[in-house]
Chain A
Amino acid sequence: MYRYDQYDQAIVDARVDEFRDQVERRLSGQLSEDQFKPLRLMNGLYLQLHAYMLRVAIPYGTLDSRQMRMLAGIARDYDRGYGHFTTRQNLQFNWIKLADTPDILARLATVQMHAIQTSGNCIRNISADQYAGAAADEVADPRPWAELIRQWSTFHPEFSYLPRKFKFAVIAAEEDRAAMRLHDIGIRLVTRDGELGASIYVGGGMGRTPMISHLVRDFVGSDDLMSYLEACLRVYNRYGRRDNIYKARIKILLHEIGADEYRRQVEEEFLLVKQLGIDPPRAELERITAMFAPPAFDPAAPDAVDRSDPDFAVWLDQNVAAHKQPGYAIVNVSLKPIGGIPGDADADQIALLADLGAAYSFDELRVTHAQNIVLPHVAKRDLYAVWRRLTKAGLAEPNLDLITDIIACPGLDYCSLANARSIPLAQKIATRFADRQRELGELKLKISGCINACGHHHAGHIGILGVDKKGTENYQLSLGGSGAQDVSLAKITGPGFSEDGVVDAIERVTDRYLATREPGERFLDTYRRVGFEPFKDAIYG
């Protein structure tokens, strides 16, 4: 994985110094909260309902054991012993004191981590396929490209005060595990005439106006990538709306002027920008790519796995994915124990994951946008040992992509923007369906506690949106969304429900699915085949 050189380290160290200065000016009263707010936001520090929340960047969701252990230590020393993994592959600490943040950042910097641009109207942490470097279906590891973009976008002088936040995702496989089409810019690496390049999709997003991105350029070679992205962002920075924050994302610009007109403007700008010499030489991509070389796999690692322990076999079938290297597997560690808080892990669990990464996965871990953890390179002969240790720590729930593997935002329990609680609802749903989840098969359920859609409800096979209805929490149900390669936006079923009412409504939906499905059909397949009406009838009929 990527390692800092003296330049990267100097930049992150300077950022710690800068933020310490800003916090001191705030604490001494030189800065008002109004003036401080944009500065702390640019560094991932939010003021939530009960405390400050610090969001730590995990670039493209990749981290090593030392970094994971550092997160456990910070959870212990500065938080209440927990970390919360987010849908942007980051980690949030929910109980932080402002005066501690410079020290936390200084500790993070010792393991090449930071909170740069994890909030604010700037280019956010770059996300990527969590199976990068391990998946058989990728044309290349997408992370070197993501790292190039990370460096280009870090403290970008022109794009730090965009109309609104800006999210990139980079993948390199046919299967989309990163919800790439629902990002401001999504990149899929492809090959053309033997050369690797990027297909650029622009204008996707969730929020209150969900949209699927448009293919704006089918191929940009690595020599032109920065110029092309600079052109994409410049057109947005100049012409994106600033009169209404709800219409300020790039998706609205594309919607208003049309993808063709946006493309035309970008191409025109690209011709100018390309003259400026802002593209790093190919040697820079090669330098970064070398750091993502495959680990030293054992070519003799056996492929056979002893399935005699039935509980292990269930987990193996549900949470372990195929690896491109014979004898190895990708382990998904569920952070969705039945009745737990989706995406949360306590300090001991985080430290255990660090240990497992070091012992069994070539020192690498990944965070997924579905708020789980991946051990990307586990030898099959070690799977049973890994499973036993995960089981002991409460981390072996075999529910990947099942109805209890819920994405949920922090909701009204933490978030100052929320209208409704997400966590208790997620807990109720998981508890209700735990004994049926395997029968229901793949069913992605996503909950957002407000219209900002941090819980990706538009992309849920079943999506739930919490709203405030005359002072009480109310939940709208939607069906048929997908953030994967078969991307689609979910459709609202009709009037909303109380917390218990929405759980009952989901049960009517899943009952109708079980009664309607044809062999081999996932919920989403059945929904697409029979349409919305039969489910609507089941819910309200």
Chain B
Amino acid sequence: MVDAPLRFRDDEPHDEPAVTLDAFLGQSNATAVRLEAGEDARALLPQIGQIALVEVSFPSFRDGRGYSAARVLREAGYTGELRAAGDVLVDQLPLMRRCGFDSFAPEAPIDPEALQRSLDRYDYRYQPAADGIVPVWKLRHG
């Protein structure tokens, strides 16, 4: 990836290259991990406190396992950078943001205007997710 990742975080990008899950589980001091689509995000939880970057692979835009990986990590309290990498399309970014991704390394460039329109489009969401947005039912009932 030549381009810098598209980030929705204020902290400095993490420099350390991401290691594979196997390598991470075998060496206790890594701080960046790459999860392949089929790998269990929960395997990271015992050492989650030391991790600053998790990169989740999207081998195809159709492969939605990474959305659950992101939710699992955020629900477990992970606050570091969570990056979606691979076949990541502009129309998917809003859903990925909702699942807790805050960094993106798409294979193909994303048109910034289309992205902005896409992120701004929906004022309301039906369900709570990892982004803290208040769901419609809560707006209805307080």
Contacts and interface: CB of A to CB of B under 8 A. Distances in A.
A binds B: yes
Interface of A: 5, 7-8, 10-11, 14, 17-18, 21-22, 25, 30, 35, 38-39, 121, 151-152, 154-163, 226, 234, 237-238, 242, 272, 276-278, 280-281, 283-284, 287
B8 interface: no
Interface pairs A-B: 8 shortest CB-CB: A161-B64, A157-B98, A280-B137, A157-B95, A7-B136, A151-B126, A158-B67, A284-B137
Interface in B69-110: 69, 71, 75, 89, 91-92, 94-96, 98-99
Contacts of A238: 40, 65, 68-69
Nearest to B117: A21
Given A22-B91, A157-B95, A158-B129, A237 B64 contact: yes
Contact of A277 (B40, B91, B92, B128): B128
Contact of A156 (B61, B117, B127): B127
Contacts, number: 104
Contact of A157 (B37, B40, B99, B139): B99
Majority DSSP secondary structure for residues of A touching B? helix
Contacts of B140: 5, 7, 284, 287
A238 B69 CA distance: 8
A238 B41 CA distance: 10
B14 interface: no
Majority DSSP secondary structure for residues of B touching A? helix
Interface in B43-83: 61-65, 67-69, 71, 75
A234 B99 CA distance: 13
B68 A234 contact: yes
Given A157-B129, A161-B62, A161-B92, 15 more contacts: A11-B126, A14-B121, A18-B121, A30-B114, A121-B62, A151-B137, A157-B99, A157-B127, A158-B64, A162-B64, A237-B64, A238-B40, A242-B37, A242-B65, A280-B138
Contact of B118 (A18, A158, A237, A280): A18
Contacts of B65: 237-238, 242
A275 to B, nearest CB: 8
A523 to B, nearest CB: 42
